[in-house]
Amino acid sequence: MAEDLINSKDIYFPSYLGNNDKLITLLNRASQTLCDWFSKADKNGPLPFDESFKCIMPAEDGNSEDDLFSEIESLLNNSFNPVHPGSLAHLDPPPLVFSILGDLIAAGLNNNLLAYELSPSVTLLEESLCKWFAKKIGFNDFSGGIAASGGTLSNLNALIAARNNAGLGTNPNSVLLVSEDAHSSFVKCMRIMGLDIKNLVRIRTDNQGRMDINDLRKTLDKCSIENKKIFAIVATLGTTVRGAIDPIKEISEICKQRNIWLHIDGSIGGVFAITSIPIEGLKNINQADSITINPQKIIGITKTSSLLLVSNMSTLENTFNTGLPYISSKEDIINRGEIGIQGSRPAEIIKLWLGLRFLGLNGIENILKSSIKRKNFFIKNINKNKFDIYSGPLHIVSFIPKKLEPKDSDAWTKTKVNELINNNFMLSRPNFKGKYFLRVVMGNYNTKESHIEELLRLLNT
Cβ of residue 266: shortest distance to ligand PLP, in angstroms? 8
Asked if residue 267 binds ligand PLP (CB under 6 A), the reply is yes
Report whether the peptide linkage leading into residue 304 is cis, meaning its omega lies within 30 degrees of zero.
yes
Stretch touching ligand PLP by CB under 6 A, among 145-153, 217-225, 272-280, 378-386: 145-153
Asked if residue 240 binds ligand PLP (CB under 6 A), the reply is yes
Task: Give 90 or 229: the residue with its C-beta nearer to ligand PLP.
Answer: 90
Asked if residue 440 binds ligand PLP (CB under 6 A), the reply is no
Task: Give 236 or 312: the residue with its C-beta nearer to ligand PLP.
Answer: 236
Cβ of residue 153: shortest distance to ligand PLP, in angstroms? 6
Q: Which residues of 361-391 are buried (b: 16+ CB within 10 A; e: fewer)?
A: eeebbebbebbbebbeebeebbeeeebebbb
Task: Give 103 or 265: the residue with its C-beta nearer to ligand PLP.
Answer: 265
Do residues 82 and 46 lie in contact, with contact meaning Cβ atoms separated by under 8 Å? Answer: yes
| CB within 8 Å of 10: residues ≥ 6 apart | none
Q: How many CA atoms lie within 13 A of 257 on its CB side?
A: 8
Q: CA-to-CA distance for 127 and 336, rounded, in angstroms?
A: 9
Asked if residue 150 binds ligand PLP (CB under 6 A), the reply is yes
Q: Tell how far CA 396 is from the center of its chain.
A: 15
Residues 199-228 that bind ligand PLP (CB under 6 A): none
Cβ of residue 268: shortest distance to ligand PLP, in angstroms? 5
Cβ of residue 206: shortest distance to ligand PLP, in angstroms? 18
Q: What spatial distance separates the first Cα and last Cα of the chain, rounded to whole Å? A: 81
Q: CA-to-CA distance for 98 and 351, rounded, in angstroms?
A: 7
Task: Give 209 or 238: the residue with its C-beta nearer to ligand PLP.
Answer: 238
String of contacts with ligand PLP for each residue 277-306, x by CB under 6 A: -----------------x-----------x
Q: CA-to-CA distance for 436 and 292, rounded, in angstroms?
A: 28
Task: Give 350 or 394: the residue with its C-beta nearer to ligand PLP.
Answer: 394
Binding stretches for ligand PLP (CB under 6 A): 91, 150-152, 183, 185, 236, 238, 240, 265, 267-268, 294, 306
